[in-house]
């Protein structure tokens, strides 16, 4: 495995909130690396650190090193436009620019050189073909990009990103706004592209990660939990939290024997309540608890494991609430 | 039952109020048309005042119409050149979030509220200092200052509405702030920027107090920037001030011309800004 | 450092310069007006100037009192007419009116804002002034305070100025307060309605209470627009320098004083200094009101953003 991006001891803050803690990991070249983890775990932040888009966020600060092709991306004095050019970004929601389809693709190449009309036509055609959009739009290149369907817009964004000739493609949950057919389309394009590009994809869809990834990084509340080859991580995770996360998103039908709603309870009381609930159960029975205290989400599973119980699932069920399933 | 009666009374009051507000607009327009239309003629808009015009003799107010157009176009162009970069610099990518931007906005708001007669007096002092007399150039400069806060603040409002994802898209392609601003932000905000310009144009063409001392008044068309120049609002004002009913009626007609220009502008701008929205991302 | 970066940096500086230039004009204006009005401040006390009621420039008497009162009265009268009508209209537009009505009426009100002052002035001369001269004798003889007529009214009066100004400030007050009212969170209305309050009770007790600072800001901005208006008022208010005791009396506001006299008769000592002092006073009043209104609006914006 040849490393392309080397992330070394990266910490990121939004004001006082620490979004990334001491992340050190290598991202392999010309493979698909999936960053997985529940929302709010720092996946997108890590992605934004790679292309320095985090600079544009108010109150954000980053420390550490990210080495790409021998250059530290986080070094303040480098030309950030070069860094970003090297990494195309496929956003969560397609964001076509307010211009025609043709101009959307031409926008990037125009910035970085002044190709002639004929060259530009070739560039536009080439990248629209790569992103699989050419056949659908070749007759209306001059029409506004906002007239395309949302799935087409996302492929346009892919083509636009590729047109500046990056080595790396960053994808921030690229299919979360798309319908299943368009999602499939994007996934197919990404699989084709990995022969030429290093692809980093952030996703909370574990199935997508399994379909696409060669390498997996699992983040949890800003910490790096586990990283490794996809088949190893998915089939035999070393960390219990990774197993819980993968199982949780699989949502296997577990027979829940008892439930406790611990919303509104603070740490460590929710831990005490959970222990009490477990105490009443027989060995091997399964307890599901719901918590809304962010610290409980890490502390309760940790404590339970220390007590010798097995944490099966830790899953975010909505913005505030988390579900933790424990086997005695 | 009481509370329902109260509600009904207030609802009636509200409808009546709105009726008065909207009705007063139509009344203003109707009264001006009613009194102005009979005196409106081709010679009104194609001739400059001839000898004895202000006594009721031959002539028109071409001098004032052209003067106003010169003043308004000149000042709008100048104001646009300053306002666009100023408004763009108030984006958060530049100084938008700083303390400085806060004070810049505040002082622009004060400038916006400053009475135009104060602009006029200020302009006159500055012109005296430079040894200028009332002229097209003087009028243009004062109107430019008058339009700056209107343009900058309205443009800033629409620029603020440009979705951040668009800028992000441009940045990820390796664009600089400058390229993003002029390649993407400007395109997306174009209809709004256009509306801001029209707003300022309307304010410029209709303002009398600021050009009273600075642009002067003359019966001929200006031949250079340093010639004094007539303007429509002042034409209305001066003709109304004469004791001759014949000339006063021409004041009404002049007011009608001014009103028509402003209303046409506002309607055309609404139509045009819709045409600019072809590529806009919603 | 490549050419693109240089361009970016250069453009950034230029843009900042444009913004700074525009914002410094107001400071320059205040300083110049102050410097030019200093001669008269050196000779007379501010007290004499502001409270003196004799205006005889040839004899060196510069009493601003009648003009200040003229400005104050005509502005207050305009606000008395405009505030209730505008607020009621904006409540109707924000809370009751159908979307169709709202989207049709608001552009019309915008149109009202775009009409030049001088056109309003002509309208005042043609419609308001004759109407007042017609009704003045009828009402004036009833002996109601502030509504008396001494002898004969031409119609060029405080009331005419007030009505014309009121119509000019409608759009300002309505558009801002309508926005503020519509920004009141829906849950608050819902909460009140679910407690069995009628729509009007909800508006009266909940919506207006929350929108109150914004409406105040709208009124202040309308007030400062009315105080500074020159041409339209000048054309209908009569321009007689006395202190009006009835709405049918003529008045002479500060703006009209400057417009009618500045630029002429500059040979009289201190005359132009006195007029520029009037301009400075107007500017300071506007400064005060604008800053007050903006502070309120900024605070509202922040409280909406954070919570």
Position A95 confidence tier, pLDDT thresholds 50, 70, 90: confident
Compute the CA torsion angle A73, A75, A77, A83 (nearest 10 deg): 10
B99 CB contacts (<8 Å, ≥6 apart)? none
Per-residue model confidence (pLDDT) at position C307: 41
Is B15 at the interface with chain C, CB within 8 A? yes
How many angstroms separate the CA of residue A76 from the nearest CA in chain C? 14
Is A158 within a domain?
Answer: yes
Question: Of the ranges A119-123, B222-226, C53-57, which one carries the lowest mean pLDDT score?
Answer: C53-57
Are B27 and B52 in a shared domain? no
Do B164 and B207 reside in the same domain of the chain? yes
Rounded to whole angstroms, the Cα distance separating A10 from A223 reads 10
Question: Residue C17's pLDDT is what?
Answer: 94
How far is B82 from C23, CA to CA, in rounded Å? 11
Question: Which residue, among C221, C267, C2, has the nearest Cα to C113 in the 3D structure?
Answer: C221
Q: Which residue has the tokens 């600021």?
A: B210
* Number of domains observed in the structure of chain A: 2
* Band (C30; pLDDT cuts 50, 70, 90): very high
CB within 8 Å: B187 and A51: no
Share of chain B above pLDDT 90, in %: 41
| Tens-digit pLDDT profile for residues C6-22 | 888 899 999 999 999 99
B15 in the same domain as B149: no
Q: What is the pLDDT averaged over residues B182-193?
A: 89
CA B178/CA A111 separation, integer angstroms: 11
pLDDT at site A318: 67
- Which of A285 and A218 is assigned the larger pLDDT? A218
Q: Which of residues 171-200 of B touch C (CB under 8 A)?
A: 176-179, 181, 199
Do residue A11 and residue A152 come from a single domain? yes
Question: Residue A244 domain-assigned?
Answer: no
Q: Is 60 exceeded by the pLDDT of residue A63?
A: yes
Distance (Å, whole) CA C242 – CA A256: 90
Query: Does the pLDDT of residue A175 top 90, yes or no?
Result: no
Q: Is residue A246 part of a domain?
A: no
Whether the per-residue pLDDT at A110 is higher than 50: the answer is yes
**Quick check: C265 pLDDT over 70?**
no
B33 and B47: one domain? no
- Using an 8 Å CB-CB cutoff, list chain B residues near A88: 172-173
Which of residues C152 and B260 earns the better pLDDT score?
Answer: B260
Domain assignment present for B281: no
Determine, yes or no, domain membership for B199.
yes
Rounded Cα gap, residues A321 and A272, in angstroms = 18
Domain end residue (candidates: A206, A239, A272)? A239
Nearest CA in chain A to C5: A79
Rounded Cα–Cα distance for residues A36 and A210 (Å): 10
Question: What is the arithmetic mean of pLDDT over B174-191?
Answer: 90
Average pLDDT rounded to a whole number, residues C249-273: 82
Cα–Cα distance measured from residue C208 to residue B14, given in angstroms and rounded to the nearest whole number:
15
CB within 8 Å of C206: residues ≥ 6 apart: C184, C188, C189, C191, C192, C197
Run of H or E including A3:
strand A3-14
Unique residue bearing structure tokens 């004070």: B103
Give the SS3 label for residue C268. coil
CA C233 to CA A228: how far, in whole Å? 79
How far is it, in rounded angstroms, from Cα B241 to Cα C163?
21
Which ranges constitute the DSSP H helices of B161-231? Answer: 164-172, 177-180, 186-206, 211-214
Q: Considering A184, A218, A239, which residue would you say is the last residue of a domain? A: A239
For the segment B121-147, the average pLDDT, to the nearest whole number, is 91
Asked if C32's CB is within 8 angstroms of B126's CB, the reply is yes
Mean pLDDT of chain C: 86
Query: For position C57, what pLDDT does the model report?
Result: 80
Same domain? A164 vs A76: yes
- Answer whether residue A8 is part of any domain: yes
Across chain A, mean pLDDT equals: 84
pLDDT at A294 over 80: no
pLDDT tens, residue by residue, C202-213: 888 888 888 888
CB count, 10 Å around CB of C279? 27
By the 10 Å C-beta count (0-12 exposed, 13-18 middle, 19+ buried), C170 is classed as buried
Q: Which two tokens stand for residue B72?
A: 């308004």
Same domain, A207 and A141: yes
Check residue B234 and give its pLDDT: 92
Give the A:C interface size as CB pairs under 8 Å.
Answer: 5
- Is there a single domain that holds both residue B117 and residue B229? yes
Judge whether A162 lies within some domain. yes
Round to whole Å and give the CA distance between B134 and A74.
59
Give the mean model confidence (pLDDT) for residues B95-99. 85
Q: How many CB atoms lie within 10 A of CB A295?
A: 14
| Higher pLDDT, residue A33 or C300 | A33
Overall number of domains in chain B: 2
B chain contacts of residue C199, beta-carbon cutoff 8 Å: 7
> Is B116 in Cβ contact with C228 (below 8 Å)?
yes
Which pLDDT value is given to residue B213? 87
The answer to whether residue B282 is domain-embedded is: no
pLDDT of C93 over the 90 cut:
yes
Least confident of A159-173, A306-320, B174-188, B244-258: A306-320
- pLDDT tier at A324 (50, 70, 90 boundaries)? confident
Q: CATH code at A311?
A: 3.30.110.40
B30 Rama sector, left if φ>0, alpha if ψ -120 to 50, beta otherwise: alpha
Percentage of residues in chain B having pLDDT higher than 70: 99
**Is the CB of C3 inside 8 Å of chain A's CB atoms?**
no
Answer yes or no: do B234 and B126 share one domain. Answer: yes
Average pLDDT, integer, range B203-220: 88
Q: A228 and A274 share a domain?
A: no
CATH number at residue A140: 3.40.50.300
User: Cβ of B184 and A145 within 8 Å?
Assistant: no
Q: Are residues A188 and A256 in the same domain?
A: no
Q: How confident is the model at residue C266 (pLDDT cuts 50, 70, 90)?
A: low
β-pair partners for A11: A63
- Which residues partner with A20 through β-bridges? A12
Residue to mutate among B92, B93, B166, B172, with most A CBs inside 10 A, is B172
User: Could you give the CA distance from residue C25 to residue C18 in angstroms, rounded to a whole number?
Assistant: 11
CB contact under 8 A, C5 and A79: yes
Average pLDDT, chain B: 89
- Is residue A250 classed as helix, strand or coil in its secondary structure? helix
Average pLDDT in the A182-198 region? 88
Give the dihedral sign, CA B36/B41/B44/B45.
positive
Whether A85 sits inside 8 A of B171 (CB atoms) is no
B80 touches chain C (CB under 8 A): no
Residue C214 has pLDDT above 80, yes or no: yes
Same domain, A10 and A159: yes
Q: Is A204:A37 a contact under the CB 8 Å cutoff?
A: yes
For residue B26, what are the domain limits?
A: 2-38
Q: Residue B78 — pLDDT band, cuts 50, 70, 90?
A: very high
In chain C, whose CA is at the least distance from the CA of A77?
C1
The tens digit of pLDDT for each residue in C40-80 reads 888 888 888 888 888 888 788 888 899 999 999 999 999 99
Q: Note which residues in 248-277 of chain C have CB less than 8 A from chain A.
A: none
Residue A205 sits in the same domain as residue A264: no
Does residue B121 fall inside a structural domain? Answer: yes
- For A203-285, list the strands marked E by DSSP: 215-220, 223-229, 258-261
- Give me the CATH number covering residue B67: 1.10.3720.10
Same domain, B45 and B17: no
**Residue B168 CB coordination number (10 Å):** 19
Give the per-residue pLDDT at B141.
93
> Does residue B193 fall inside a structural domain?
yes
Q: Which 223-242 residues of chain B touch chain C by CB within 8 A?
A: 232-233, 236-237, 240
Mean pLDDT of C269-286: 88
Range A208-221 average pLDDT? 88
Residue A15 covered by a domain: yes
Across the range A237-263, mean pLDDT stands at: 72
Residues A260 and A224 in one domain: no
Looking at the fold, whether A207 and A271 belong to one and the same domain comes out as no
pLDDT for residue A132: 86
- Position C25 pLDDT exceeds 90: yes
Average pLDDT in the C144-156 region?
A: 76
Does residue C306 surpass a pLDDT of 70? no
Q: Looking at the structure, do residues B155 and B226 belong to the same domain, yes or no?
A: yes
User: Among all residues of chain B, which has the CA nearest to that of A164?
Assistant: B173
Cα–Cα dist B36/B28, whole Å: 12
Tell me which residue range forms the domain holding A299: 251-327
Q: A257 and A228, same structural domain?
A: no
* Torsional class of A69: left (φ above 0), alpha (ψ -120 to 50), beta (otherwise): left
Q: Are both B19 and B92 inside the same structural domain?
A: no
Decide which of A207, A239, A271 is a domain's last residue: A239
Statement to judge: residues B12 and B68 lie in one domain: no
pLDDT confidence band for A189 (50 / 70 / 90): confident
Among B85, B118, B266, beta carbon nearest to C283 = B118
Mutate to test the interface with A, among C4, C9, C306 (most CBs of A within 10 A): C4
Residue A147: pLDDT above 80? yes
Could you tell me if B136 and B167 lie in one domain? yes
| Identity of the highest mean pLDDT range in A285-294, A319-328, B265-274, C188-197 | B265-274
Q: Is the pLDDT at C298 greater than 70, yes or no? A: yes
Q: Is C23 on the interface with A (CB under 8 A)?
A: no
Domain membership of residue A245 (yes or no) is: no
Contact across the interface for C7 and B178, Cβ inside 8 Å: yes
Q: Which residues of B touch C114 (CB under 8 A)?
A: 199, 202-203, 206, 262-263, 266
Residue B280 lies in a domain: no
């Amino acid at each position: 495995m040849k490393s392309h991006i080397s992330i070394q001891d990266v910490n990121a803050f939004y004001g006082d909130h620490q979004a990334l803690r001491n992340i050190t990991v290598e991202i392999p070249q010309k493979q698909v690396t999936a960053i997985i983890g529940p929302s709010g775990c720092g996946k997108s932040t890590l992605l934004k650190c790679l292309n320095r888009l985090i600079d544009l966020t108010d109150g954000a600060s980053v420390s550490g090193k990210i080495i790409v092709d021998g250059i530290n991306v986080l070094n303040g004095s480098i030309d950030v436009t070069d860094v970003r050019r090297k990494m195309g970004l496929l956003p969560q929601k397609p964001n076509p620019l307010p211009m025609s389809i043709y101009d959307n693709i031409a926008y990037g190449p125009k910035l970085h050189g002044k190709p002639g009309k004929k060259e530009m036509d070739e560039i536009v055609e080439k990248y629209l073909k790569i992103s699989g959009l050419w056949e659908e739009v070749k007759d209306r290149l001059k029409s506004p990009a906002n007239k395309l369907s949302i799935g087409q817009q996302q492929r346009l964004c892919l083509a636009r990103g590729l047109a500046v000739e990056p080595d790396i493609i960053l994808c921030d949950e690229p299919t979360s706004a798309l319908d299943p057919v368009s999602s499939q389309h994007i996934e197919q394009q990404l699989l084709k592209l990995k022969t030429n590009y290093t692809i980093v994809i952030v996703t909370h869809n574990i199935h997508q990660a399994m379909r696409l990834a060669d390498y997996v990084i699992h983040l949890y509340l800003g910490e790096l939990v586990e990283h490794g080859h996809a088949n190893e991580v998915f089939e035999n995770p070393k960390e219990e939290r990774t197993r819980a996360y993968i199982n949780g998103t699989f949502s296997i039908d577990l027979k829940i024997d008892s439930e406790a709603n611990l919303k509104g309870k603070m740490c460590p009381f929710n831990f005490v309540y959970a222990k009490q609930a477990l105490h009443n159960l027989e060995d091997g029975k399964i307890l599901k608890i719901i918590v809304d205290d962010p610290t409980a989400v890490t502390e309760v599973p940790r404590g339970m494991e220390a007590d010798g119980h097995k944490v099966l699932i830790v899953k975010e069920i909505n913005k505030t609430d988390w579900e933790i399933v424990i086997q005695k | 039952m009481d509370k329902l009666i109260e509600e009904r009374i207030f609802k009636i009051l509200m409808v009546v109020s709105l009726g008065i507000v909207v009705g007063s607009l139509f009344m203003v327009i109707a009264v001006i048309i009613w009194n102005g239309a009979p005196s409106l003629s081709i010679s009104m808009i194609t001739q400059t005042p001839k000898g004895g015009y202000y006594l009721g003799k031959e002539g028109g107010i071409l001098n004032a119409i052209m003067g106003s157009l010169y003043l308004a176009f000149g000042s709008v162009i100048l104001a646009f050149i300053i306002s666009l970069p100023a408004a763009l610099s108030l984006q958060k990518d530049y100084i938008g979030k700083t303390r400085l931007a806060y004070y810049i906005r505040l002082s622009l708001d004060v400038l916006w509220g400053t009475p135009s007669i104060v602009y006029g007096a200020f302009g006159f002092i500055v012109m005296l200092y430079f040894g200028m007399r009332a002229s097209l150039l003087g009028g243009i400069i004062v109107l430019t200052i008058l339009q700056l806060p209107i343009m900058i603040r309205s443009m800033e409002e629409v620029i603020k509405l440009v979705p951040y994802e668009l800028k992000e898209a441009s940045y990820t392609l390796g664009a600089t702030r400058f390229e993003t601003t002029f390649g993407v932000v400007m395109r997306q905000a174009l209809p709004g920027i256009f509306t801001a310009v029209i707003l300022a144009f309307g304010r410029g063409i209709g303002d009398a107090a600021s050009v009273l001392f600075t642009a002067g008044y003359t019966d001929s068309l200006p031949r250079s920037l340093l010639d004094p120049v007539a303007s429509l609002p002042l034409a209305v004002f001066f003709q109304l001030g004469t004791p001759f009913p014949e000339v006063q009626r021409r004041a009404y007609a002049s007011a009608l011309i001014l009103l028509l220009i402003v209303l046409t502008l506002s309607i055309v701008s609404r139509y045009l800004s819709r045409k600019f929205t072809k590529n806009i991302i919603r | 450092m490549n050419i693109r970066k240089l361009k970016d940096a250069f453009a950034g500086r230029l843009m900042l310069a444009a913004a700074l230039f525009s914002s410094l004009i107001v400071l320059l204006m205040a300083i110049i007006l102050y410097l030019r009005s200093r001669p008269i401040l050196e000779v007379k006390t501010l007290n004499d100037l502001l409270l003196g009621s004799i205006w005889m420039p040839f004899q060196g008497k510069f009493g601003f009192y009648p003009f200040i009162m003229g400005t104050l009265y005509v502005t207050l009268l305009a606000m008395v007419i405009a505030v209730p009508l505008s607020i009621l209209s904006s409540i109707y537009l924000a809370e009751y009116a159908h979307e169709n009505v709202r989207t049709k009426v608001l552009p019309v009100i915008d149109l009202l804002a775009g009409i030049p002052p001088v056109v309003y002035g002509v309208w005042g001369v043609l419609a308001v002034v004759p109407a007042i001269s017609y009704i003045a004798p009828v009402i004036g003889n009833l002996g109601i305070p502030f509504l008396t007529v001494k002898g004969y009214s031409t119609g060029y009066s405080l009331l005419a100025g007030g009505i014309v100004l009121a119509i000019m400030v409608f759009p300002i007050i309505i558009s801002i307060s309508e926005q503020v009212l519509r920004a009141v969170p829906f849950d608050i209305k819902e909460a009140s309605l679910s407690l069995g309050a009628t729509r009007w009770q909800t508006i009266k007790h909940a919506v207006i209470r929350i929108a109150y600072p914004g409406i105040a800001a709208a009124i202040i901005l309308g007030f400062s627009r009315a105080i500074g208006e020159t041409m339209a008022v000048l054309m209908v208010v009569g321009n007689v320098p006395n202190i009006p005791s009835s709405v049918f009396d003529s008045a002479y506001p500060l703006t009209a004083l400057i417009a009618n006299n500045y630029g002429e008769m500059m040979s009289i000592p201190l005359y132009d200094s006195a007029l520029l002092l009037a301009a400075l006073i107007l500017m300071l009043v506007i400064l005060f009101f604008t800053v007050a209104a903006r502070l309120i609006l900024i605070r509202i914006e922040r409280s909406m953003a954070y919570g």
